[in-house]
Amino acid sequence: MVRSECKLSFIKAGAYKVSALLFLTFLLVNNVSASVLVIDSQVNVNEKRQPEIHQTGGGQTENQDNDSKIDIDNSSKSKRKAKSKTEFEFDADLILGTESYSEFYDKQLLGDNQLFLRRLKLGVELDRRFENDNKLSIEMEVVAESLIDGDDKGLESDISDFNIEYEFNNDLEVKFGQFKEPFGLERLASPMDLPTNERSLTTSTFAPGRNRGIQFGQKFKKWTWSIGYFKDRDNDEITAYTGRITKLFLFNDTKSNAHYIHLGFAATERHLNGVEFRHKESVSLFSGDNIARSERFNADKLSLQGLEFVWNYNNFSIQSEAMQELVTDVNGFDYNYSGYYVQSSWILGGDKLFTDYDKGRRKSLKSKSINSQTAKFKASKAEISGIWEWVVRVNQTDLQDNISGSLSGNQTTVLETGINYYLSESNILKLSVYQTKVEGEVVGGSDQGKAASLRWVYSL
């Protein structure tokens, strides 16, 4: 991801964002009748409701799960085929962690053997489904994490997502606000759905994250496309055009989609307008120092391309991404950077489980057998409880190669081995060990080191 040397501000959301959210929320729900109170009062908060299975006109079963949503029906069933309704959805994620490492990762050992808040996310989404099957969504997410930076301690928070999306009945989507740019399979996946404790160094270094912009796209079962125009959330002078296309190939068991291949391509063209540019990233650790570094210079433009590949067969999967970046400085010199990772995961003790995939994004575990309660290929709590997942990843990121002849920066290679234990689908323990080697510029006084990280992941 493009970063300037200066420290980013994490509390940037203005009052206009909150005001806009409240205003649009009022517009969506102002026609809801008092029956909402009746519906809401019938929900016993002390008793978990079981999903209901309804028979559709096509003879298929349809699941209606009111576990975390409130559906408000504003139409007459006898007069309209498509019902207009409003849904509120609330969710929260919590990740706690600790890490142990040598001085190679951080000379001061600031985060060594310290318990920290890796992520706390609170999200709210408001969906309005219209009678013509169009859909309007408003999403807002607030994220907090520990601050580990020299003498600075405590928590830092940020409004990570604030966006509005309109989906037409032909699956065309228009989205604007602040959200992730369409680049990178691993970047677009939620941290809750990743088999590793952190994203790869290649993804963290190159793939753009959340910025402000507008995006158009369509998401079908077997292919997706997205393209958008963005401005950097911290610097309006940085603008970008970013696009992504994916294709899914299904084999054999097409009912549960347990055997598939995913291919994806993404590209972004970014105008940096002379800002100071340098890649600086920690390697696999949240609390480590930025030991992966490139040359520092004033950049004019950047071109980045990425390839994605996933092969999943039942409870075994291989995932890989490769990225190539060309940065041109204000004097016309070119800097060429690249990276890749290859990752495999194997679900142990869950022969009927596999890594789910939905419309161009990696998801959590899924069942090959149909769930009798939900009438969907969704893993039950009994299937996921007590499951082990073994993960191996090799990652190399080259920030040293410069077409113009300079060899500043370094090349970093990471071997990661991890084991995850699923107490339930929303309660996971994850342990990873790392062996890292650096060629070129050395930050920590040594060119290699070992580390370990432990995470507790809980989702509401």
Q: Which residue has the higher pLDDT, 241 or 14?
A: 241
The one-letter code for the residue type at 244 is R
CA 183 to each of CA 176, 237, 310, 323, 325: distance values in angstroms, whole numbers, following the listed order: 16, 20, 15, 10, 13
Lowest mean pLDDT among 64-68, 175-179, 297-301, 349-353: 64-68
Between β-strands 448-459 and 85-101, what pairing exists: parallel, antiparallel or unpaired?
antiparallel
* Structural contact between residues 277 and 327, judged by C-beta atoms closer than 8 angstroms: yes
- 106 vs 25, higher pLDDT: 106
> Can you list the domains of the chain with their CATH numbers?
15-43+62-459 (2.40.160.10)
Indicate the range of 103-112, 164-173, 318-327 predicted with least confidence.
Answer: 103-112
Count of other CB atoms within 10 angstroms of residue 300:
18
Please give the structure tokens belonging to residue 256.
Answer: 């549960």
pLDDT at 151: 59
Mean pLDDT calculated for residue range 250-262: 77
- Mean pLDDT in residue range 27-38: 38
Average pLDDT over residues 96-106: 91
Count Cβ atoms below 10 Å from residue 289 Cβ, excluding itself.
22
Confidence of residue 361 (pLDDT cuts 50, 70, 90): confident
pLDDT, tens digit (0-9, with 9 covering 90-100), for 383-440: 788 899 999 999 999 998 755 555 678 999 999 999 999 998 889 999 999 999 999 8
**Paired tokens of 35:** 């029956």
> Which of the listed ranges 80-89, 139-148, 376-385 does the model predict with the highest average pLDDT?
139-148
**Which of 29-33, 171-175, 379-383 shows the highest mean pLDDT?**
171-175
Mean pLDDT of the 123-135 span: 93
pLDDT at 232 over 70: yes
Residue 30 pLDDT exceeds 60: no
Position 350 scores a pLDDT of 64
Nearest to 439 by CA among 338, 280, 292, 323: 292
Model confidence at 20: pLDDT above 70: no
End-to-end CA distance of the chain: 29
**pLDDT average, residue stretch 248-271:** 86
pLDDT at 121: 96
Instruction: Return the pLDDT at 143.
Output: 96
Spatial distance between the Cα atoms of 131 and 301, rounded to a whole number of angstroms: 45
pLDDT tens digits for 268-297? 999 999 999 999 999 889 988 899 999 999
Q: 166-184: per-residue pLDDT in tens?
A: 999 889 999 999 999 999 9
Q: Is the pLDDT of residue 303 over 70?
A: yes
pLDDT at residue number 404: 52
Selected residue with higher pLDDT from 161 and 106: 161
- The DSSP bridge pattern shows strands 387-398 and 410-424 to be antiparallel
Q: Cβ distance 11 to 302 under 8 Å?
A: no
The pLDDT, as a whole number, for residue 284 is 86
Task: Enter the tokens of residue 84.
Answer: 């207009």
The token duo for 231 is 């401005």
Residue 96 confidence (pLDDT) above 80: yes
pLDDT band (50, 70, 90) for residue 256: low
